[in-house]
Structure 1
Amino acid sequence: MNKAPTGDKFSPRLPVCGGIFLMLLILLGGCSNRTVQINLVPTHQKVAPHFIHATTAWFNNNRVAIVNVSGMLMDSRGGLLTSGHNPVSDLKQTLDEIAHDTRVKAVILRLNTPGGTVTASAMMYHDILSFRRKTHLPVIASMMDVCASGGYYVSCAADYQMAYPTTITGSIGVIVQLFDFHRSLEYLGISAPAFVSGPNKETGSPFSKMTPSQSRIIQGFVRQFYARFRGVVKKTHPLVAPADWPRLTDGRPLTGQSAARYHLINSVGTLQDAIALAKQMAHIHHASVVIYSRAAHGSGSIYAKAQPIKPLGQLNLVNIQLGSAEMAAMLHPQFLYMWEQ
């Protein structure tokens, strides 16, 4: 029987093979602009309300609107193994539609997301705050399976945060994942010289070894974004004990039950509880419950991206894109408010 490696000697095979595989993907992507798409979910659609529960009360047009915020939060239409919609644009478009519907008396954000990019999370947070200032409607964040990191950041814009006891939330912090291919390139005898205007222009490049100066720059960004996250949480959660802040903001995930105990959310409760609370905060007794989702042919919002023309009736469930731009984007430093499992 072959003995397992003891670890006394370094074997370059694993990192080299991994580096070669990723570089081949990049090179193959650069040779073609084709994409591979599996299409099963309608695209190019406008958000519109769909009834979940209609009130039986006479002469009552009151509505409680449910808005879904799910998946990875990015200001883009997705890429490898992600949906083709832009979650930032979707939220903005949905809130704009609701703002013009005088029948809506309260809004529930149904969140199921591990977070996403720093900027996308901040954009969605500010869009919700702007919606609240404009409409004066109560907004309740109802957390599902996961509402962590950037998802939790977004939920802080609501008037009230509610989670299931088993929800995974918290994870207050920042992460940036960088690739380093310079050793793999050396192993293959490949050089990738870059002509730069300054010593830090290549900061974050996967093709050169990071210098101490560049590392300090990246870590400085992380500290700035982390301070911003902590500031938002502290501003919106005055009941958290000062002694608990270091532990609650060290990046650890928490259950909804624990988050409520430490006052990171207002209470535990179900989606039905959130609906009841929404009606109470809106001072109404009866209301239809509507969920906003996509219908046919919408113009999108100010964040919407240009979309390619597709044949009528085409559907889009999983949009797998393997073009050069998507592969290159995988290697760019992405600062994330995200819980990585």
Structure 2
Amino acid sequence: MAKSKADGQEIVLPEGEGRSTIVINNNPGKAKWVKILLVISLIVNVFMYSAYQEYFQDPHEPQERFHDGDASATDKVARISVDGVIFGKNTTNILKSINKAQEDENVKAILLSVDSPGGGAPDSHQIYHELKKLSAQKPMYVHMKKYAASGGYYVAMGAGTEAKIFAEPTTWTGSIGVIIPRFNLTGLEEKLGIRSAPIKSGPFKDSPSPFRDLEGAEKELWDAIIADSLGLFTGVIVENRTDLDEAEVDAIATGQVYTASQALANGLVDQIGYEEDALTALGEKAGFDPEKVRIIDYYVEPTITEALMGTSAKSPIEQQWEALVQSTIPRAMYLCSWLPIGTGE
């Protein structure tokens, strides 16, 4: 027997004519670098594939998911969810879900599921506008969960005049009004010894500035904007809640939140009930048995890049803004605790 060394490792080889000598290269240092290069190559290829997918197709196209009923049924009822603050990517995904339900011939009816404290006025109206077009083609009822307030109630009006609105016993709704968050920092200038001095083309270009009191013509300007926006909101309610006239809507459009029973008494909702109650009523309207149709949800999967990096489809600014808004939402709690503070969920 002959002995050979390959990179510090001794290998015993058989002797004799006609036999081949095999030398095994077992360099731990080289093997480590090969593994590192393979991992880097894999990551690069995954990112390149993800970039290719995102460039040539919409990475946030809503996907269909079974929710309830008969999974083998052809006829479908789509649950379109309006959850969380109505803003940014959330608005985009809701609009895409509406469009998907509109294009699917097998979707025979829509259950609009609302759990939102509202959000941007333009976002809310955009969703309302698309829902109106959809409800003109397919029967739509509304199911309100924890919140359907302000913009959350606004989008519910998109179900149209034929819709019934169901609110759960603990739902908070209403909050019919408009708000422009603003801080008054006039006292801060004196304390810090600084003064705001913008260069502007007109007197209202920096309005409403937090560095001066809102008075005179400037206050009138913003009062008019608020009044116009509120008029759009109340007009949408008058149009779609046919049992309420303009005076009645104006009387309840104080910005206050209503409980489910208060909302029912004021004509803002039609019935107190749960999702199954709304589906049963919708089935009677559209002519289907909830147990014999496929009830589906829409959801948006993260892209490969988002999944690998652990990021959200929302930008960091959107996430921070939404977290801030969520923290300001009033909450009623049945809580046995020496520290009665909301969770911010």
TM-score, normalization: structure 2? 0.69
| Matched residue, 1:223 | 227
The alpha-carbon deviation at position 209 of structure 1 amounts to: 3.8
Structure 1 segment 17-166 matched on structure 2, within 5 A: 44-55=59-70, 60-74=73-87, 76=88, 86-133=89-136, 136-158=137-159, 159-166=163-170
Structure 1 gaps, min length 5: 1-42, 77-85, 298-308, 328-335
Change (3 A) 1:172 1:312: closer
Greater than 4 Å deviation, 4+ residue runs: 241-244, 317-320
Q: Distance in 2 between matches of 1:322 and 1:162?
A: 34
The alpha-carbon deviation at position 44 of structure 1 amounts to: 4.5
Give the match's secondary structure for 1:102. coil
- The answer as to 2:266 corresponding to 1:265 is no
Q: Distance in 1 between matches of 2:185 and 2:220?
A: 20
Structure 2 gaps, min length 5: 1-57, 331-345
| Matched residue, 2:45 | none
| Matched residue, 2:308 | 313
Structure 1 segment 272-283 matched on structure 2, within 5 A: 272-283=276-287
One-letter amino acid matched to 2:217: S
Q: Distance in 1 between matches of 2:306 and 2:150?
A: 38
Change (3 A) 1:161 1:94: same
Change (3 A) 1:256 1:314: same
The alpha-carbon deviation at position 185 of structure 1 amounts to: 2.1
Work out which structure has the larger RCO, using CA pairs closer than 8 Å and 6 or more positions apart in sequence. 1
Q: Distance in 1 between matches of 2:307 and 2:256?
A: 46
Question: How many residues get paired?
Answer: 263
Q: Distance in 2 between matches of 1:45 and 1:162?
A: 30
Q: Distance in 1 between matches of 2:257 and 2:294?
A: 35
The alpha-carbon deviation at position 248 of structure 1 amounts to: 1.4
| Matched residue, 2:241 | 237
Q: Distance in 2 between matches of 1:170 and 1:278?
A: 23
The alpha-carbon deviation at position 104 of structure 1 amounts to: 1.2
Q: 1:197 aligns with which of 194, 201, 212?
A: 201
- Whose radius of gyration is greater, 1 or 2? 2
- Is the Cα–Cα contact under 8 Å of residues 48 and 294 in structure 1 kept in the other structure? yes
Q: Distance in 1 between matches of 2:211 and 2:183?
A: 8
The alpha-carbon deviation at position 190 of structure 1 amounts to: 1.3
Q: Distance in 1 between matches of 2:71 and 2:313?
A: 39
RMSD: 2.9
Greater helix share, structure number: 2
Q: Deviations over 1:111-136 (max 9, x none)?
A: 11111121111111101012223xx1
Give the match's secondary structure for 1:177. coil
One-letter amino acid matched to 1:213: A
